[in-house]
Each structure stands twice: as structure tokens, then as C-alpha cells.
Structure 1
């Protein structure tokens, strides 16, 4: 994937160079011709000045259009590359956790065996319960068929735990028919979960609930947090590009980008809020 992105970037850069060099050669040829054949060139220029001017303008406009188009393509590729790197890091973190659990499993068995031999049945029960809770946390995020989404959810869950936020995960689908590419879906979920984390910063009892399930012919993602209610005069603006309530800390693009991605694949994203919680709902139809 990284190789494909690099190839696309190189192709885009080559196109920009070719167009600019072509423009420069045409202008240079025109100047050289005018200098060598001054008399004929002067007459030709005077008779076709308007035509030459239009050709020059057309070349500049075409060059500008191609340059802007390719710059935008480079930006999209750069964003995609950044998100894929981030997703790969999250998958790697999840893989490391799974390796750690496998490594620790034998140690846990040895502890349990020793406790049973010493007839410490109550302590054995407590120990198994603690180990089981850790295993359940991992199993909750391994239910989808997308390693990238699993890695994202695991990374966000660990981040929330570090911040003292209680996270409830409820995943009831494998997302086998999800038509949104994993790297784009991770971008959407990452933006909304980060938004939920920030919304709970001032709470004493912080709580986020993430539900992923399917109904009829569509997937639903519900991300709920118990942060402050979004004011009525702002709730219709939060998906607008550049809108932010974070002052200089935010750029106001996360939710706008999320909405753009979801709508690109025929889905919808909405938000509801009240005095107790705020919920983002994403609906994505099957293929």
C-alpha cells in the first residue's frame, strides 16, 4: 500500500513538472523566434497579437488547473498515508497486547495450579476473575473482520482508561459488508471518539459507550458520551468545515471530514444531545 501511494505521488509530481516545462519551452521558443526573426516576427505578432495572447492565457489556465488538481491529489494521498500509518501502529499495538497475553497465559496457569495445590480456592477464584476481565477487554474489540478497526478501538479503549474514562463496548457485527475502506472508517471513528473524549474532560465520572450493530440492510455506529449538552445554536454547525468550540486548540475539520466520508458512501451522520449525554449516530447501507 505504501509503495502504491509513493508511485501515485511520483506520477503526480512528474505531471506537474512536464506541464510547467512545456509551458516554459513554448514561451522560450516564442522569445527566441521573435529575437532571431525580428522583422517577420514583428509583423506576425502585430497581426496575431490577440490570438497569441489567448493561447498564452489558455496555457497558463490549463497549467494552473492541472497544478491545483494535482496538489489536491497529493494532499488526499498524504492524508491517506498518514491515516494508514496511524492504523498500522494501532494494529501493531493490538498485536503486541495479544502476544503479551499469550506469553502471560502459561504464567497464569502456573499461578492457578499452585493456588489450587495450596487449597487457596477463594484466592484462585479472585485471580481467575481478574485475568478473565483482561481477556474480555481484548475480545470485545476483536469481533469485527477489520483488523484496522479492531486496532483503533483497542487503542482508544486504552487511551480512555489512561484518562480515567469508563468505556463500554458493544459490538454485534463483523462488518463483513462494510463498503467504507478501513482506513477511512478509522478516520471517522477516531475523530468522533476523540471528540467524545474531549467532551468528558470536565466530568468527574467520565463515560463513553460505543455500539456497532446492523439493522435490516445497514450498519449503525452509536458513540455516546456524558459530556455537556451541545447548545441549540451550535448543534447545526458542528459539521461545518472550520467550526470549532476549542478556540485556538482546534481546527474544526474532524467532524466535517467524517461527514464528508460517510456521505461519500451513501451514509448519514447525525448528533442528538440532552442534559445527560450526547450521541453521534452513523448509518451506512450495505453494498
Structure 2
């Protein structure tokens, strides 16, 4: 936060000087406070609308860009006051635009690297779970066989019910799914259960059927379910009762339909209006960057899909429709 404030102050000051020099070339004796108000308004507006990812660029590159922006003032000393003063001002804006774009790209790259690392861990964890269940399968069969031989039918039934429940948890996530998708579904299921959230996968066909790359599919599912879990955790703390998540997937005609519902705290109207349109909008409290909702929107748009969402009676629902042919 401190870095953003320092950065905003520097940009404000440099912008005022550039604008004042430009205005003074056309209007003599113009008060500097006009430039202060105009530049200040732009800085405040854009800083609230878009998160400023300045620190990710690094001190060295930021310092170099600032030095170039400051060096532009030399042009005002060698040029006669005229419309040529527009050039250093435009170069200043172009450098600033590139700085913001670079910060955003680097932030997204960092986020993707974290996702790749998380996917690897999820695959490893899912593989260990399946291998462990397979390794112990014959032991469980032997235990049930022993109970049946001893005519302990009730104990055998209880043992079998417990065993099936554990297998169903894994089977819900991995049946018919590609490895990466199975990994994200399995880990999100375990994460929700650990948080005390009721989670249901109502899936007619494998989610891997979606005509997407593994990377985009994991981004979509990971952000949908992660956002839902975090919203449910907040809702549970506030209401002191169990929250629920439902993930539905089916195909109707030429469309794949993915629906995610979850309990959620009240979402302000201004956040809902911009939720899937830009970065920095989030339904969660605390220090969240609001990247997830925009990433969901970008994936849906990439595959010419349709995204709709509804918030009603403390329930948030996202419906995504993806054409079967991309």
C-alpha cells in the first residue's frame, strides 16, 4: 500500500508538470491548480478502477522508467512553447501505459505459475490417494470376508458403508476425467469438506468433455470453486451454520452448461455490476485482488461462451454456456 501511495504521488507530480507546461504554451499565466485538479482526478479514478501492480515490476525498472519520464522535461528547455510540447507529454503517458500493462502481465504470469505448481501438487495428491486406496483394497476385502465368516453382518455392513463413502469421495472427482481436471475437482472437494462445507458434484458427463485446453479448464474450475469455498467460509462464520456448494454440468443441444451455486454474504450492487468485467472487483472481504472473476470471464470469452450470474437470497449462482464446437 505504501508503494502505491508513493507511486501515485510521483505520477501526480510529474503529470502536473507536463500538463502545466503544455497548457502554458497556449494560455499564458494559467494557474497550476487546474493541472493539479485534472491530473489528480485521473490518478484517483484509474487507481480505484484498476489495481496498480507496481511492486511486481521491481525497484530497478521502476526507477529507470521514472528517470526517463523526468528526463523528458529537458525537451521543454530546447523547444519553443508550441504544440510540440504535446510530444513529451504523450511519451510520458505512453511510458506510464506500458508500466501498467507490464505490471498486469507479470502479475498474471505469477498467478499462472502458482496455479501450475498447485496443479502439480493436486495431481500428486490425487495419485497418492488412488494408489493408497488400491493398495489397501485387498486388505479391506479380507476384513469384510472375515466379518462375514464370523456372521457379524451388521459390523460388515457398517465397515462396507464406511469404505464405500471414502471411495465415493474419490470417485466423484476422478471418474472419466483427465488427470488435471480430476486433480482440481478432488482437491477442491477435500478443501470444502475440511472447511465444513456441504459440496455436491451433480455431473451428467465428465467436465473434461468441455472443448478447452487443460490449462483453461483448470483455471475455470479452480477459480469457480475456490471463490465459492471462500465465500462459503465467510458466510458460515457470519451465520454460524453450514454453507453449501453445488457444481452442475450437463449438455443440452449444442451447449455445455456449467452451473456453480454457493451461499454468499450480501454483495454490493456496484461490485456486481463490474464483477466479471475488470480486475480488482471481488465479493470477498479482506485483501483480495479480484483476479479470479476476470480470469473466469476471459476463459469463457476465449471459447465464445456465455456467462450469466444471479445473486438472490444470499445465494450466488454462475451459469456458463460453452458451444460444443469451438
Q: Normalized against structure 1, the TM-score is what?
A: 0.71
Alpha carbons 2:203, 2:250 under 8 Å: kept? yes
Match of 1:278 among 316, 319, 323: 316
Q: Give me the whole-angstrom Cα distance separating, in 2, the residues matched to 1:259 and 1:224.
A: 17
Alpha carbons 1:80, 1:183 under 8 Å: kept? no
Alpha carbons 2:251, 2:257 under 8 Å: kept? yes
Q: Give me the whole-angstrom Cα distance separating, in 2, the residues matched to 1:182 and 1:213.
A: 19
Matched, 1:142 2:180: no
Q: Give me the whole-angstrom Cα distance separating, in 1, the residues matched to 2:173 and 2:242.
A: 23
How far residue 159 of structure 1 moved from its aligned partner, in angstroms, is: 0.5
Matched, 1:206 2:243: yes
How far residue 170 of structure 1 moved from its aligned partner, in angstroms, is: 1.4
Matched, 1:110 2:142: yes
- Counterparts in 2 of 1:175 and 1:166: CA distance versus 1, 3 Å: closer
SS in 2 for 1:249: coil
Matches within 5 A, 1:7-86: 78-86=110-118
Match of 1:172 among 186, 199, 204: 204
Q: Give me the whole-angstrom Cα distance separating, in 1, the residues matched to 2:286 and 2:208.
A: 40
Please name the residue that 1:196 is paired with. 228
How far residue 108 of structure 1 moved from its aligned partner, in angstroms, is: 0.8
How far residue 248 of structure 1 moved from its aligned partner, in angstroms, is: 4.3
Q: Give me the whole-angstrom Cα distance separating, in 1, the residues matched to 2:316 and 2:99.
A: 42
Q: Give me the whole-angstrom Cα distance separating, in 1, the residues matched to 2:275 and 2:97.
A: 31
Alpha carbons 1:243, 1:251 under 8 Å: kept? yes
- Counterparts in 2 of 1:154 and 1:176: CA distance versus 1, 3 Å: closer
Please name the residue that 1:268 is paired with. 306
Q: Once the two structures are superposed, what CA deviation does each residue of 1:14-43 show, in whole Å capped at 9, x if it has no partner? A: xxxxxxxxxxxxxxxxxxxxxxxxxxxxxx
Larger Rg: 1
List gaps (5 residues or longer) in structure 1. Answer: 1-61
How far residue 64 of structure 1 moved from its aligned partner, in angstroms, is: 11
List gaps (5 residues or longer) in structure 2. Answer: 1-93
Alpha carbons 1:141, 1:171 under 8 Å: kept? no
- Counterparts in 2 of 1:220 and 1:100: CA distance versus 1, 3 Å: same
Q: Give me the whole-angstrom Cα distance separating, in 2, the residues matched to 1:205 and 1:68.
A: 41
How far residue 254 of structure 1 moved from its aligned partner, in angstroms, is: 1.2
How far residue 199 of structure 1 moved from its aligned partner, in angstroms, is: 1.7
Q: Give me the whole-angstrom Cα distance separating, in 2, the residues matched to 1:143 and 1:172.
A: 11
Please name the residue that 2:279 is paired with. 241
- Counterparts in 2 of 1:212 and 1:144: CA distance versus 1, 3 Å: farther
How far residue 93 of structure 1 moved from its aligned partner, in angstroms, is: 0.8
Q: Normalized against structure 2, the TM-score is what?
A: 0.63
How far residue 85 of structure 1 moved from its aligned partner, in angstroms, is: 2.2
Q: Give me the whole-angstrom Cα distance separating, in 1, the residues matched to 2:145 and 2:261.
A: 42
RMSD: 3.4
SS in 1 for 2:151: coil
Q: Give me the whole-angstrom Cα distance separating, in 2, the residues matched to 1:163 and 1:90.
A: 18
- Counterparts in 2 of 1:186 and 1:176: CA distance versus 1, 3 Å: closer
